[in-house]
Amino acid sequence: MAHAILLEAALSFLGLGVQPPTPSWGLMISEAKALMYFEPWLITIPGIALFLLVLSINLVGDGLRDVTAPENRS
């Protein structure tokens, strides 16, 4: 799931993903490139949100795997 989210964001950043007006974090970062030096939060906030989403999905997945995996139970 996290891989698919990162792939969509990367494709949108490159201009190959969803097209405006559909919202996408990759598209938001791509459109804010021109304003990076004057308004850095336009890149920082979507980047941090994307990072936290992917991190949380990975941590939840690891936790579920640890709880449900029979080979890890003693």
* Nearest-angstrom CA–CA distance, 28 and 47: 9
Query: Would residue 11 count as lying in a domain?
Result: yes
Type of residue numbered 5: I
Q: Which of 34, 28, 21 is nearest to 46 (CA)?
A: 28
Q: Is position 74 within any domain?
A: no
Asked if residue 63 belongs to a domain, the reply is: yes
Question: Would 45 be classed as within a structural domain?
Answer: yes
pLDDT at 73: 64
Residue 34 lies in a domain: yes
Q: What is the pLDDT of residue 74?
A: 61
Question: 62 is in which domain, residue-wise?
Answer: 2-69
**Mind listing the pLDDT tens digit for each residue in 12-70?**
999 999 998 999 999 999 999 999 999 999 999 999 999 999 999 999 999 999 899 87
Check residue 71 and give its pLDDT: 79
Q: Which helix (H) or strand (E) holds 15?
A: none
Looking at residue 20, its pLDDT comes to 87
**What's residue 7's pLDDT?**
96
* Inside any domain, residue 41: yes
pTM of the model: 0.86
The rounded distance, in Å, linking the Cα atoms of 26 and 30 is 6
- Report the C-alpha gap between 21 and 72 in whole angstroms: 46
Query: How many domains is the chain partitioned into structurally?
Result: 1
